[in-house]
Amino acid sequence: MDALSNNANRQAYGAATDKLAESSASADVAAITTVADEILAVAGLLRREPRLRRALADPARSGSSRTELISSILSGKVSAGTIDLLGLLVSGHWSGPGALLDGVERLGVDALLTAADRGGDLADVEDELFRFSQIVSGDPRLAGALGDSTAPVSARSELAANLLAGKVKPATLGLVQLAVAGFGGRGFDSSLTRLVELAAAKRDRSVAYVTTAVALTDAEEQRLADRLAELYGRNVSIKVDVDPRIIGGVRVKVGSDLYDGTVARRLAEAKTALSK
């Protein structure tokens, strides 16, 4: 379950994101990116240090005490803006140490996506994340190497950097490395999927995962996007996966909604009916 579905967690996170939006309004891309990188580095620290996580989420401590603790740890190591944001974040009420870690990660993601948006790269970041997820899913050895939770995060993160550095937007690489670490406690594939959705949400869009036997033309993709926008009441990002195994037709997944109009599905149903 998403930690931010909890009301208390959501309130604590909301206060920090409001401050992030306020501070980012007058900052340039480089400054916002620095804050994002620092927040995600702190998330890595919390992931490695469970005692610190527990201390920063301890309800027996006052909010000001938790703020003082994070400030004393980070002073001189990250920017004052990052300390202010994280101090506000930890001062809120969190349902547990894991939820706090999720909140720090999400704040870093929001900052990174804000920087990408400010730089005009947000749509590219969303698309690059999806395309990389397709590349990984089509290569079992690569999927195993990046998703192996028994291997050090640092080694897998370095592998991602070697694969992507200079080929994708910096924000894309940062988000892929977060997926390697297990964003929100998810596996690598699920982390990438969630990050694609968050990038789309930053553009006020939902994501439609579309599976077809052959590639859609631009006109077909646009017609599908328009139809889904009418259905869901918001713009939709179309992410197409070509899979000849479905034979024909189309499968569309938006959130928990699934429409399966593939020939493979209809043949399977016919086979089941005949066997009864």
Question: Using CA atoms, how far apart are residues 234 and 102, in angstroms rounded to an integer?
Answer: 27
Spans of the chain below 70 pLDDT: 1, 267, 270-271, 273-276
* Residue 250, Ramachandran bin (φ over 0: left; ψ between -120 and 50: alpha; else beta): beta
Query: Strand 235-242 and strand 205-212: pairing?
Result: parallel
> Residue 22: what pLDDT?
96
Question: Using CA atoms, how far apart are residues 54 and 39, in angstroms rounded to an integer?
Answer: 18
| pTM attached to this predicted model | 0.90
| Topology given in CATH for the domain delimited by 205-275 | Glutaredoxin (3.40.30)
pLDDT in tens, 62-77: 999 999 999 999 999 9
> Residue 5: what pLDDT?
73
Q: Structural domain boundaries of the chain?
A: 1-119, 120-203, 205-275
Question: Using CA atoms, how far apart are residues 234 and 270, in angstroms rounded to an integer?
Answer: 36
Question: Using CA atoms, how far apart are residues 209 and 226, in angstroms rounded to an integer?
Answer: 15
> Residue 273: what pLDDT?
67
pLDDT in tens, 230-248: 999 999 999 999 999 988 8
> Residue 267: what pLDDT?
66
> Residue 239: what pLDDT?
96
